Amino acid sequence: MNNNTKGTLIAASLGPGDPGLITRAAWNALETTPCWAWPESRQEGGGYAISIARRAGLTPPEHTLELHFPMTRDAKRLTEQWSLAARQVLEVLHAGKDVVFLVEGDASFYSTFGHLQRTIWNLDPAIQVRIIPGVASPMASAALDRQGLCDGDQTVAMVPATIGMERIAHLFDTFETVVLLKVRPVLDELIQLLEQRQLLAKSVFVERAGAPEERVVHDIASLAGSQVHYLSLMIVHCNDGEATLGNRK
């Protein structure tokens, strides 16, 4: 707990799934903070982030908050749910207790935490926030594939695959490596684009990196028509050129 009358909101980044990737800072926050909060998911039977902590052997404190965020594009419903979650967390913070929010991956990288933080600050701008960084899924996935994302002067783009195939095709022409997140809704379209651009053999699909159910697939065409987990991504190496090392003249 801090020295102010209000508690601090702490984002503990737990990495993409392997408990061994939890940093010492995040581990310490989980062991010492009196209240844990995490996004509840019916698909995961409680929530992916809390499952990482439990696999690590960490025990939640007596006070916990399971925050429900529905999988919907209904802006009104989402706003109402975020407001409800923020008020639940604020009730604890206003009582002078710190709250640690469990985050899969890294809290600053396409994370639920950003939405919660903004909503809480809209309600109470005086709340102190601490963000503990962690291993993001592209880095963990590249390690599983044993191939670096970039080197020297090479460039990398990391985008949701839902931005559209035309924009993704442009990225293939612009960057040496393209990491595509959230591939599940557009997987078949993406596979078709990779085939058209002759990039199937230069791509790798990774699902739930670090979790017991992790999957690494190099035969991208075999995924056509299949259902994949929402925690899936694809790394596309767009050319075979070597990096330019050293400083530009």
Tell me the C-alpha distance between 200 and 218, whole Å. 8
Q: Report the predicted TM-score, pTM, of the whole model to 2 decimal places.
A: 0.88
Tell me the C-alpha distance between 112 and 69, whole Å. 9
pLDDT at 200 over 70: yes
More confident position, 227 or 239:
227
pLDDT at 243 over 60: no
Tokens 């159910």 belong to which residue? 213
Mean pLDDT of the chain: 91
pLDDT digit string, tens, across residues 148-198? 999 888 999 999 999 999 999 999 999 999 999 999 999 999 999 999 999
Please tell me the predicted confidence (pLDDT) of residue 246.
Answer: 46
User: Cβ contacts of residue 149 below 8 Å, gap of 6+?
Assistant: 138, 139, 142, 156, 177, 179, 235
pLDDT at 248 over 50: no
pLDDT digit string, tens, across residues 31-81? 999 999 999 865 545 689 999 999 999 999 999 999 987 666 777 887 888
Show the tokens assigned to 46.
């409680």
All domains in the chain, ordered by first residue: 8-132 (3.40.1010.10), 137-237 (3.30.950.10)
CA contacts within 13 A on the Cβ side of 60: 19
pLDDT at 142 over 70: yes
Query: Distances in Å between the alpha carbon of 173 and those of 106, 149, 189, 248?
Result: 28, 16, 18, 22
Tell me the C-alpha distance between 153 and 174, whole Å. 13
Q: Where does residue 79 rank: exposed (0-12), middle (13-18), buried (19+ CB within 10 A)?
A: exposed
Rounded to 10°, the helix 75-94/112-123 angle is 70
Q: ∠15-21-25 over CA atoms, to 5°?
A: 85
Structure confidence at residue 247 as a pLDDT band (50, 70, 90): very low
Please tell me the predicted confidence (pLDDT) of residue 1.
Answer: 47
pLDDT digit string, tens, across residues 216-234? 999 999 999 999 999 999 9
Please tell me the predicted confidence (pLDDT) of residue 80.
Answer: 86
